Amino acid sequence: MVPILSTQWEVRAIAGEPKAVVRVRNLQAIVQGGTDAWGRPGKAQPALISAEISFMHPFGTVCSSDRLSAETVHYGQLSKAILEAIDDLNNEPPPTGTDNQPGSDASPTMKDVLDMIWARLTGLPVDGNAEEFSGSLETPFLNLLFIRFMSITLTFPKASLLGEGVSLTASTLYGPFAGGYGCLRYALSLRLMNLKVPTLVGVNPNERHNKQFVVADIELDNFICLEDMYTDLEKGVVSTMSHSSFETLEALGAKITEVIYREVKLLSSGDVGRDVELPIRVTLEKPTAVPMADCPVVEMRTTHGGKVVEGAE
């Protein structure tokens, strides 16, 4: 069975209300992968990893016996398994560039790091495709027969020049299908977190003469790109906002989605933005616009691109 590429919202909606969940939030590590805020690959940088595992059944035996069983997972061992996956990646020999120096296009991408973590936990990459996976399919940490839903977010807090970081989130729905039990749907989304950019935007006369900070949070769903392009995407968003003369946040948000979609098509060698739809969520905040509120917020979601090729459940 070929798992269906879906949005984060769709995967969670189909998974339904969780019966029992174990989470680890913001596990800290150093990762030799992705690109830094300047677009340089293969540089060591801090990372935060958050994991969420939703189980098929409520915590029954473990509650009555006060002992761990297969219906749950030890959060300490879960954290250890995630960190071991990152250690394995960091200890791999560095790739050699064309000038025989470390750091090249062969350096692990953000998606590679997420796949390594996923493989350590489940034995498979995020999309469940073992045939195209070059990692080690060792005995997984989790027994998927007890898992309904899993989500992992990898965040590079220092990979943005003007924002709070960049994150890549993978989510998977597990369940029975003809011939077995495994991944039914999966989602991947890239997020540029809270870019703070001086912007000329507003309908009031005072707003037409001076720039004010606008905070932009951008999320791209169905993001199956293999390349690390988030620094280039940030440049596009910042340039658009810096040269803005829009009166409304709505118009500015629409322009940002156009720029993001164009940049993804130009930078990606894969199908995202071409044969696969690319939902883009843009959230814009103006912290100084309303004195008696934290900020007014406008959020919009636009889908660009071709038709998603779906498998069969």
Distance CA 115, CA 126 (A): 6
Q: Which residues contact 244 (CB under 8 A, 6 or more apart)?
A: 199, 200, 201, 252, 255
How many Cβ atoms from other residues are within 10 Å of residue 277's Cβ? Answer: 17
DSSP-assigned letters across all residues of 13-73: HHH-S-S-EEEEEEEEEEEE-SB-TTS-BT-EEEEEEEEEEEESS-S-HHHHH-S--TTS-
pTM, whole model, 2 decimals?
A: 0.88
Distance CA 122, CA 133 (A): 13
* Amino acid in the structure at residue 281: R
Q: Which fold has domain 4-304?
A: GTP Cyclohydrolase I, domain 2 (3.30.1130)
Provide the residue ranges of all domains of the chain, joining segments of one domain with +: 4-304
pLDDT at 169 over 90: yes
Percent of the chain whose predicted confidence (pLDDT) is above 90: 60
Dig out the tokens for 276 from the structure: 């696969």
The pLDDT value given to residue 102: 42
Confidence of residue 309 (pLDDT cuts 50, 70, 90): very low
Distance CA 87, CA 180 (A): 32
How many Cβ atoms from other residues are within 10 Å of residue 210's Cβ? Answer: 9
Residue predicted with more confidence, 155 or 292:
155
Distance CA 137, CA 142 (A): 13
* Amino acid in the structure at residue 168: L
